[in-house]
């Protein structure tokens, strides 16, 4: 799931002209003097080829007001993509919506942000993760992240409120879900070449196309069951060429690579 409109900064376009999967609203500016510019890749939509998720099926899912998705890393911390925010600092401009599959539901939980931490050294190429501190905890289950590459295989689940077709620019009020199989770096590079950063990014997608994340899905989790049958996040929706094109996998931040950095950053919020 990627976001749709990108603030096409020169920085982000230097390496890869792909869609960042953030939504048309773009990244949120933070109230701090030490902000760094956000980079913009190109991205895909709500889940293309997806099916409606049931209420409570993925209670850790979060919709962010800048047009991105995220997951509850802690009850008061959301894990999302670095390209969804403009830098690190204090801000109350982001609203996290959780607790509902339908964003129009009266039961939606809405909490403002207080602070954002963007991945240190983020320049639009890799390191696509960020944390958003919330003003109060959301009493819902959190999503554990992978700390090793053990689960970077098999079939993953993606979910989001993004576009349901490339260039749709509409998004979805209902949470959609889909299954996407792992794509090895060697195979993914047949399309993306040197644009793919092996070791920092993981690919997934259906070879025939038709199923993918897209604009508005950026920052949302890619997850699967661990050996204990619990959901485990292995990726963050990041970028890709278009949405659901044949032989064009979606590219996700490889969470296990940054697990330690994410943990340390969360502890400092």
The total number of structural domains in the chain stands at: 1
CATH number at residue 165: 2.40.10.10
Question: So what's the pLDDT on residue 18?
Answer: 52
Instruction: Read off the pLDDT of residues 185-235 as tens digits, 9 standing for 90 and up.
Output: 999 999 999 999 999 999 999 999 999 999 999 999 999 999 999 999 999
H/E stretch holding 81? none
Which residues, in sequence order, are CB contacts of 2 under 8 Å at separation 6+?
19, 20, 21, 22, 42, 43, 44, 45, 162, 213, 214, 215, 216, 217, 218, 237, 238, 239, 240, 243, 250
Domain range for residue 142? 1-269
For the range 203-208, what are the long-range contacts, defined as Cβ-Cβ under 8 Å and sequence gap of 24 or more? 203/249, 203/250, 203/251, 203/252, 204/156, 204/158, 204/180, 204/235, 204/249, 204/250, 204/252, 205/180, 205/181, 205/240, 205/248, 205/249, 205/250, 206/49, 206/180, 206/181, 206/244, 207/246, 207/247, 208/246
Give me the DSSP letters along 31-60: SSTT--PPP--B---S-BT-EEPPTTSSTT
Find the DSSP H helices in the chain: 10-13, 185-192, 259-267
Instruction: Read off the pLDDT of residues 51-71 as tens digits, 9 standing for 90 and up.
Output: 999 999 999 999 999 999 999
Distance CA 219, CA 27 (A): 11
Q: Which residues pair with 174 in a beta bridge?
A: 102
Strands 144-145 and 231-240: parallel
Q: Give me 132's structure tokens.
A: 């958003």
Instruction: Provide the annotated active-site residues.
Output: 83, 128, 218
Low-confidence stretches of the chain (pLDDT beneath 50): 1, 3-17, 24-46
Question: So what's the pLDDT on residue 165?
Answer: 83
Question: So what's the pLDDT on residue 152?
Answer: 97
Q: Per-residue b/e over 205-231, b at no fewer than 16 CB within 10 Å?
A: bbeebebbbbbbbbbbbbbbeeeeeeb
Question: So what's the pLDDT on residue 166?
Answer: 85
CA angle 102, 98, 116 (to 5 degrees): 135
Question: So what's the pLDDT on residue 50?
Answer: 82
Distance CA 92, CA 69 (A): 17
Are the C-beta atoms of residues 116 and 66 closer than 8 Å to each other?
Answer: no
Question: So what's the pLDDT on residue 48?
Answer: 76
Go through the chain and tell me how many residues it has. 269
> The pTM is what?
0.86
Which of 70, 97, 73, 81 shows the shortest CA–CA distance to 27? 81
């Amino acid at each position: 799931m990627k976001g749709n409109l990108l603030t096409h900064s020169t920085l982000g376009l230097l390496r890869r002209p792909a869609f960042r999967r953030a939504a048309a609203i773009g990244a949120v500016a933070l109230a701090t003097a030490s902000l760094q510019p956000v980079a913009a890749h190109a991205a895909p939509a709500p889940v293309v080829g997806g099916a409606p998720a049931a209420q409570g099926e993925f209670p850790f899912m979060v919709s962010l007001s800048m047009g991105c998705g995220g997951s509850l890393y802690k009850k008061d911390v959301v894990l999302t993509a670095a390209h969804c925010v403009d830098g690190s600092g204090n801000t109350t401009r982001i609203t996290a919506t959780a607790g509902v599959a339908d964003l129009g539901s009266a039961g939606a939980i809405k909490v403002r942000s207080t602070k954002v931490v963007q991945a240190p050294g983020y320049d639009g190429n890799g390191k696509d993760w960020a944390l958003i501190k919330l003003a109060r905890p959301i009493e819902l289950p959190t999503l554990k992240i992978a700390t090793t590459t053990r689960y970077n295989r098999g079939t993953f689940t993606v979910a989001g409120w993004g576009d349901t077709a490339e260039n749709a620019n509409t998004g979805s009020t209902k949470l959609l879900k889909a299954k996407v199989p792992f794509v090895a770096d060697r195979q993914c590079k047949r399309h993306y070449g040197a644009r793919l950063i092996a070791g920092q990014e993981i690919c997934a997608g259906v070879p025939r196309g038709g199923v993918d994340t897209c604009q508005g899905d950026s920052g949302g989790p890619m997850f699967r069951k661990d050996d204990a049958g619990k959901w485990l996040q292995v990726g963050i929706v990041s970028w890709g060429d278009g949405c659901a094109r044949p032989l064009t996998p979606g590219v996700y931040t490889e969470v296990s690579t940054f697990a330690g950095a994410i943990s340390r950053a969360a502890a400092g919020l």
